[in-house]
Amino acid sequence: MSHELIRRKIRPSHQRIKILDYLMNQRCHPTVDQIFHDLHQEIPTLSKSTVYNTLNAFLEAQLIRVITIEDHETRYDIAMKNHGHFKCDSCGSIYDFTINIDDFATGELNGFQITDKNIYFKGICPRCSQGL
């Protein structure tokens, strides 16, 4: 993990490595608060500012991306390949799914420079559907 940070010109501090490890192993599309809450026990010196600054460094290095399915909620995603997201309205879980975003027609956008593509779906996940 430290090799990836060095390759992207990010100094591999203990806290940065732990945050990257968390993002790679917890595929939950966490918020800053979730990351801080989940890692604070293990790293008592961790601050929310450090989490924000680390995530911003990862964003600048294109190591992660921001997903904003809800206007009031910023989440982070380590998966950089184009893919879609499904958010369950019942439990709030966010799932990745494979989709070829490049297949979507953008004919009406001739002359526009597209810098990002996001596909979001909302509904009820299978686990929550069973409880209905």
Q: Which residues carry a binding-site annotation for Zn(2+)?
A: 88, 91, 125, 128
What is the rounded CA–CA span in Å between residue 51 and residue 35? 7
Binding-site residues from annotation:
88, 91, 125, 128
What is the rounded CA–CA span in Å between residue 79 and residue 23? 9
On the 0-12 / 13-18 / 19+ scale of CB atoms within 10 A, 79 is: middle
Which are the contacts of 76, defined by CB distance < 8 A and separation ≥ 6?
23, 29, 30, 31, 35, 55, 58, 64, 65, 66, 67
